[in-house]
Amino acid sequence: MNPDSLRETVERLFILLAERQIAYVLVGGVALLQYVEGRNTQDIDLIMALAEIDRLPEIQLTSQDANFARGEFAGLQIDILRAENPLFARVKQAYTTVQDFAGQPIPTATVEGLIVLKLYALPSLYRQGNFARVGLYENDIATLLHYHQPDMTALLLELSPYLSASDRQEVQQILHEIEQRLSRFQKGTGQ
């Protein structure tokens, strides 16, 4: 899908969501573009409850499990983080703001919400051996930390109940490595 077609399809989807009064939150690469430049994406990620998905027959579901669903809307891949997952519900409730997208108010995850979701996903991506997504997620986190400097202690406390003990350790190690990268960058640029 070319960038113009992608934008047009996303706009149509947002209009449909508004018309049907669907409760959702934009997350993922498109949401990240509200806070940083240069993130390419070919899909859209939403937090949404299964009951809301059922109200959108225009989205053809291709797969789903307890936490995720994937579908297609007019050639656009939609990845759905199901709001039935307690962490996804928490992000939807506590880490959402409204951003403008093509003149429409869109409920969008905050910087903190995006970081929490990406940190939550990383241990699983490492176990899956998904090197490309690990690289993207770690870079997204580093970029958000560099430009927005959120309180990571508070975010780790928020995330902790949703992780196993081993995943908590891994997330802390990943975050430490990202912070070291940022420190090297800041030294190199004299910041």
Whole-angstrom distance, CA of residue 88 vs CA of residue 116: 10
The predicted pLDDT at position 69 comes to: 96
Give yes or no: residues 117 and 85 share one domain.
Answer: no
Q: Is 117 left (phi over 0), alpha (psi -120 to 50) or beta?
A: alpha
Give yes or no: residues 94 and 158 share one domain.
Answer: no
Identity at 97, one-letter amino acid code: T
Give yes or no: residues 78 and 98 share one domain.
Answer: yes
Give yes or no: residues 103 and 164 share one domain.
Answer: no
Task: Give the burial string for 106-132 (b: 16+ CB within 10 Å, else e).
Answer: bbbbbbbbbbbbbbbebbebeeeeeee
- Show the tokens assigned to 79: 């990845």
Give yes or no: residues 154 and 69 share one domain.
Answer: no
In three-state secondary structure terms, 104 is strand
In tens digits, the chain (191 residues) has pLDDT values of 666 787 899 999 999 999 999 999 999 988 998 898 877 777 999 999 989 998 999 999 999 999 999 999 999 999 999 999 999 999 999 999 999 987 899 999 999 999 999 999 999 999 999 999 999 999 999 999 999 999 999 999 999 999 999 999 999 999 999 999 999 988 877 76
- The parent domain of residue 172 ranges over 112-189
Helices first, then strands: H and E counts in the chain: 8, 7
Give yes or no: residues 13 and 99 share one domain.
Answer: yes
Give yes or no: residues 30 and 103 share one domain.
Answer: yes
Give yes or no: residues 50 and 124 share one domain.
Answer: no
Give yes or no: residues 96 and 137 share one domain.
Answer: no
Last residue of a domain, one of 93, 109, 125: 109
**How many domains does the chain contain in total?**
2
